[in-house]
Amino acid sequence: MGCIKFDIAELQAFVATAENSSFRVAAERLCLSAPALSRRVERLEEALGAKLLERTTRHVQLTAVGQEFLTEARAALESLESAAQRIIDQALTRRGSVTVACIPSVANHLLPNALRTFADEYPDVQVHVIDENASHVLDAVVRGRADFGLSFTGSQEPGIQFETLARERYVLAMLRSHAWACRSEVAWSELAGVRLVSVSHQSSNRLLLDQVMAGLPEQPMAWYECNHVTGALALVEAGLGMAAIPQLALPECNPKVCGVPLIEPQLWRTLGLIQKRERVLSPAAESLKNRLLALHVNC
């Protein structure tokens, strides 16, 4: 099958002429001269190899082929107009979607604040949240499945831009009724013999914790393990032990659990927004990103 070449302007010229049965009226509608309009229709007929309009000194009539083609031409123009409007709507952030990848502590305690105001201003934009561990968050950003991510890894990754949101320290989460709850700090060495709840090796937090504990004279023992910090915190709330967790994962308003800073050494992690350097965000994604960067995070 050969390549049929005509453009949208020629299609519009034909439809306008057919609908108005007049080159003069159609030309005025399209802001063209009558000869220019006629040339566009002639080029379309040449491309199709068929006569679409019968021209007389007074009237313009559709041929049988032209009548059949008019239905298809109208549908094609309507489809193109609809597609163009969808693109325009997305560009104006009226519609579309944003995908954010983030670690669970961010999904639970930081992201909702930004999404609340974002939804008020952009009610027709869908937001997809990939709440996974740090390695999955980085992978989603690198592979382009997420517009951007929120995590504490990725600053050394080639092609990734890392913008700092906050530095958060690790605390020992315990029941507010525990004897240590009133203390201002707890040394890591004091955890020997304490019943602990830990994250598994699937969590990127585990690498940081293992590095600290490797230098202790006596290794603390984890009696329970969870894949995510949120799961470990739930076991602490159930009274099953204490857990070393990043401070952002423990909201101050938690009625049952509090966090006491861990020392000797202090352990911190840097939370940041990660994005592929060459990725151009949609206006909606850029707006949500800026809201997150503007959040005041106390850790």
Confidence class for position 156, pLDDT limits 50, 70, 90: confident
Cβ-Cβ contacts under 8 Å for 203 (sequence gap 6 or more): 133, 134, 227, 228, 229
pTM (predicted TM-score)? 0.64
208 has pLDDT over 90: no
Per-position b or e across 105-139, b if 16+ CB within 10 A of its CB: bbbbebbeebbeebeeebeebebebbbbbbebbbb
**Of the candidates 175, 191, 183, which has an alpha carbon nearest to the alpha carbon of residue 244?**
191
Indicate the average pLDDT of the chain. 89
Confidence class for position 90, pLDDT limits 50, 70, 90: low
Contact 284, 93 (CB under 8 A): yes
Contact 241, 234 (CB under 8 A): no
Return the axis-axis angle of helices 8-20 and 34-48, rounded to nearest 10°.
110
2 has pLDDT over 80: no
Please, what is the end-to-end C-alpha distance for the chain in angstroms? Answer: 66
Label each residue of 101-168 as H, E or C.
EECHHHHHHCHHHHHHHHHHHCCCCEEEEEECCHHHHHHHHHCCCCCEEEECCCCCCCCEEEEEEEEE
